[in-house]
Amino acid sequence: MTNIAILTGGDSEERVISLKSGQVVREHLPKDRYRSFLIDIQKSDWHEIDSGTPIDKNDFSLTLGGEKIHFDCAFAALHGAPLEDGKMQGYFDMLGIPYTCCDGYVSALTMNKHNTKMQLAQFGTVPMAGSVLLRRGEPVDLEKINPLGMPLFVKPNTHGSSFGVTKVKTAEALLPAVGEAWRFDSEAVVESFLPGREFSNGVLRVNGAITVLPVTEIIPETEFFDFAAKYEGKSKEVTPADLSPELTQQCQSQSRFLYEALKCKGVVRFDYILVGDTFNFLEANTIPGISPPASCRSRRVRTDGNWACFFRC
């Protein structure tokens, strides 16, 4: 039987989402093929959740009932630090333990919204909102921000789940919004508002071939797709999205291109705003959240005879 370490928890505010994702993974892995263990990663405390037994970090093993358990694979269900930002992957690479997400470099790159945009800008074919990067402790340069217009969004640069994200409608609200973003990160991205519909599109490899999933439209009840819309049922997600065949093809082709251009692995979700007939790239999520099939309001992937559902995170 294959031993699977389901990595969950984490150090960021996204921890609560990670713990839910980890439970869903364990519930839906085929039990006749996999023996799975929920491993909570929080700072230096790494332990198996059910027993509280610590992980031996020398070889990432677990000793239960006198049995020393070595893991054949690490399943990535940990959003944010220290996995989605690439910190742990080098450790697993050195131990020779495979994992189900992008490698350390790609994870660190895609977790950084600004650097991802700079990486993609070289291709000249990926439409994106205009943006400005701000660093805590440095003056806020309004001359760079003003051309973005109003409204605009202020976001932590390396954080997910909409923590610290503010839609800014007036000049007076800008600095408080930047301060809110800096509560979660030392860098903030100020991004121009794109008036359009919001979509997401998942991509993964199946038997070595890239598979692009159906496109999903996000219809929030709130003013934008904030935490309440994502995790408290304040949104509607339509899959497949109500798009023409031409626009569906455009979105899926762009997602395939991004997956290859960023050298992604595992399941990755790309987020867009559709303005007119153009899908504008927002960000890449290399460890999307996972919800139970019964409550899933999003897209589903069938693997090993089971459904896994990926929602925004």
Active site annotation includes 99 = no
Active site annotation includes 191 = no
Q: Which residues pair with 38 in a beta bridge?
A: 6
- Residues 294-306 as b or e (16 or more Cβ within 10 Å = b): eebbbbbbeeeee
Active site annotation includes 283 = yes
Cα-only R_g, the chain:
20
Q: Which residues pair with 13 in a beta bridge?
A: none
Q: Pick from 3, 94, 93, 6: which is nearest to 287 by CA?
A: 6
Per the residue annotation, which of 18, 131, 161, 200 is the catalytic one? 161
Active site annotation includes 91 = no
Per the residue annotation, which of 12, 192, 202, 269 is the catalytic one? 269
Look up tokens 């650097």; give the residue. Answer: 115
Residue partners of 124: CB distance under 8 A and separation at least 6: none
Active site annotation includes 269 = yes
Per the residue annotation, which of 107, 285, 291, 298 is the catalytic one? 285
Q: Report which DSSP code applies to 43.
A: T
Per the residue annotation, which of 9, 10, 14, 99 is the catalytic one? 14
Residue 154 near residue 189, CB atoms below 8 Å: yes
Residue 181 near residue 156, CB atoms below 8 Å: yes
Active site annotation includes 161 = yes
Active site annotation includes 253 = no
DSSP collapsed to 3 states, 123-192 = CCCCCECCEEEEECCCCCCHHHHHHHCCCEEEEECCCCCCCCCEEECCHHHHHHHHHHHHCCCCEEEEEE
Specify the pairing of strand 131-135 against strand 34-42: unpaired
289-291 sheet: strands from edge to edge:
289-291, 306-311, 299-303
Residue partners of 123: CB distance under 8 A and separation at least 6: 261
Per the residue annotation, which of 13, 85, 103, 283 is the catalytic one? 283
Task: Tokens for 89, please give them.
Answer: 């992957």
Per the residue annotation, which of 271, 298, 299, 312 is the catalytic one? 271
Per the residue annotation, which of 18, 40, 185, 231 is the catalytic one? 231
Active site annotation includes 202 = no
What are the catalytic residues? 14, 161, 231, 269, 271, 283, 285, 289
